[in-house]
Amino acid sequence: MQSLPTAIVVNSKNRQTALEFASFFPNFVRAYVSDDVMGAEVSGAYKNVIAIASGVCEGLGLGKNAAASLISRGLVEMARFGKSYGAKEESFIGLSGAGDLFLTASSTMSRNYRVGLGLAEGKSQEEILEDLGEVAEGIGTAYALHVIATEQDIYLPIATEVYKMLEGKSPQDTLKDLLTR
């Protein structure tokens, strides 16, 4: 809305359709195209779970090194999950993955990041959602990832711990478990 420069990815299995949609953006938006719809979908959902964890990290005052470690490991976890569904690895290191993750996991404008801040304050999921007054997609995604990880035996330590915090586990116990796993 402020016409500030940004970049996006238009994903479609049909390259011509992606190029056509990419041409609709104004000149301050750099639009890339990709055929990795799965990579974009997984990234778009998973980054919200990592943003919750990042909000907890900030809320506990763990510092920038901890946040960078968490986001980096979250990216690895997100890519591992996506690759198990056939997504391309380059999607996770590009705008759809790392770009969106870095923004969402470091901004108080992110609803999911604010969920993490609430968890760090010891608030329940219900209290957080009442305060937020909006949908935080990372909550439902954390529950879905927990089910998938359990059923398919996929190693998702950060997503699993976010799920457990949403179910009432203390952030301090989560931190201890992630550091000593």
Catalytic residue positions? 47
Helix axes 37-59, 111-120, angle to 10 degrees: 30
Q: Which amino acid is at 86?
A: G
Q: Are 85 and 36 in contact (CB under 8 A)?
A: no
Instruction: Measure the CA–CA gap between 120 and 60, rounded to whole angstroms.
Output: 6
Query: How many C-alpha atoms does 136 have within 13 Å on its Cβ side?
Result: 33
